[in-house]
Structure 1
Amino acid sequence: MLAARMVDAVEDETAFYSKAERYWQEVPPTVDGMLGGYGSISSIDINGSKKFLQRFLGDGKGKTGTSCALDCGAGIGRITKRLLLPLFRTVDLVDVTQEFLDKAKTYLGEEGKRVENYFCCGLQDFEPEPGRYDVIWIQWVIGHLTDDHLMRFLQRCQKGLRPDGLIVVKDNVAYEGVVLDEVDSSVCRELALVRDLVCKAGLRVLHEERQENFPDEIYQVYTLALR
């Protein structure tokens, strides 16, 4: 279903969220499950993300610190394991599915000792601790939030940042309008709409780029650094 706005695509907000929760409860807690059967793209994804993120990290004016990161919609911790724990001293995970967080505790292995918090919560209700995070990483999950909830969540994330902290959104973008996925109860927005919601949340896009080398049949994926 193609719509010009999210509000046209989603008629019942409560059902939109509960249907998504039910969908993820049926998904196996594996990398392939997290990636909808596209487990083979995980390394390409992580390498692209690392290259994107490292331009902001380090010492010096305006650079982002590396003490603590938050993985939003973390699932079993695929991004935490391969991207965040190698770069940050500690990491927190938040996901709506308890089974995924339970699995993360074994999937992350020895390095998982540096995970401080596992939050089981939908992002529409999650409140990051103010001033805690250097980087808040939000990947393949904004489609599960309504426009209003996404804007409010980004505002709460901004409050959750340390000085010179960074919010990173990496997600599918539609070629036009808003596309509703009835199966997992999510939407895919065109890039202009994502930028517009970021702006309305009071944030600005510092940098954006398209993820390269993904299969042609999946949506194009963009990464945006926000502050």
Structure 2
Amino acid sequence: MVDMVEDETAFYTKAEQYWQDVAPTVDGMLGGYGSISNVDINGSKKFLQRFLGEGEGKTGAGCALDCGAGIGRITKRLLLPLFRTVDMVDVTQEFLDKAKTYLGDEAKRVDNYFCCGLQDFQPESGRYDVIWIQWVIGHLTDEHLVEFLRRCRGGLRLGGLIVVKDNVAYEGVVLDEVDSSVCRDLGLVRQLAQRAGLQVVCEERQENFPEEIYQVYTLALR
């Protein structure tokens, strides 16, 4: 990835500018593929629920963090139904402003709206049962992703879980000049998680997505 991103500042600035021009809608959040939202949420819920509850290997349902939260599609459909409170972090203030109306009455259970790039975000120590990171790791350089995942480790409660759900390339790293992001192959994602001191405890491919888009994998990390 170092060869692809020669100017780190430009890489982040271009991405911020791209998202500033995206409509604050579900379709905008999903790059025109709003129709896949239900399939995505249902797959995520099935994946996550196996870790919630009491006993060994389970995590609590107190507080979750939605990273790259946008207008709160995942917060509304996945996290708020399963957790008592949620925090949201996104680089685009307009999306977070929209979330307050998009979430409706349930917005009162969102404790914090953080406007910040993940490369600079510091999760509060020991706050979260689950940190959900979806369709956003491609906006971080390898080094910043490793550092961010390390900080997320520190943000977990005892028994907590980090979940990464994202596009996966078939081989190597693919640069998207349009939104200034990269798509990594699954082996590289695993390597970067391991560098952050995390282990993959569960991994699965999202089924029933359109054939023309990237394959999507969900990884549970501890």
Normalising by structure 2, report the TM-score: 1.00
Q: Secondary structure of the residue that 1:9 maps to in structure 2?
A: coil
Out of 112, 126, 135, which is 1:131 matched to? 126
Q: Which residue of 2 aligns with 1:224?
A: 219
Unmatched tracts of structure 2, length 5 or more: none
Give the corresponding residue for 1:143: 138
Deviations 1:46-76 (A, max 9, x none): 0000000000000112210000000000000
Tell whether 2:212 aligns with 1:202: no
Q: Return the letter of the residue paired with 2:177.
A: E
1:69 is aligned, of 56, 64, 70, to 64
Write out the 4+ residue segments of structure 1 that deviate beyond 3 Å after TM superposition.
Answer: none
Pairing 1:106–2:101 present: yes
Letter in 2 for 1:116: D
- Give the counterpart letter for 1:8 in structure 2: D
Q: Secondary structure at the match of 1:130?
A: coil
Choose the corresponding residue for 1:82, options 77, 80, 90: 77
Give the corresponding residue for 1:3: none
- Counterparts of 1:117 and 1:169, CA distance in 2: 21
Matches of 2:135 and 2:47, distance apart in 1? 16
Identity of aligned residues (%): 84
Cα shift readout 1:67-94 (whole Å, capped 9, x = no counterpart) = 0000000000000000000000000000
1:88-121 per-position Cα deviation (integer Å, ceiling 9, x unaligned)? 0000000000000000000000111100000000
- Higher relative contact order, structure no. (Cα contacts within 8 Å, ≥ 6 residues apart): 1
What's the offset of the Cα at 1:201? 0.8
Q: Which runs of 5+ in 1 are unaligned?
A: 1-5
1:45 corresponds to which residue?
40
Partner amino acid, structure 2, of 1:9: M
Instruction: Find the counterpart in structure 1 of residue 10 from structure 2.
Output: 15
Q: Deviations over 1:132-154 (max 9, x none)?
A: 00000000000000000000000
Whole-angstrom CA distance in 2 between matches of 1:62 and 1:196: 23
Residue number in structure 2 paired with 1:115: 110
What one-letter code is carried by the residue in structure 1 that aligns with 2:65?
A: L
Number of corresponding residues:
222
Question: Are 2:160 and 1:165 aligned?
Answer: yes
Paired AA for residue 58 in structure 1: G
Q: Distance in 1 between matches of 2:79 and 2:55?
A: 21
The one-letter amino acid of 1:183's match is V
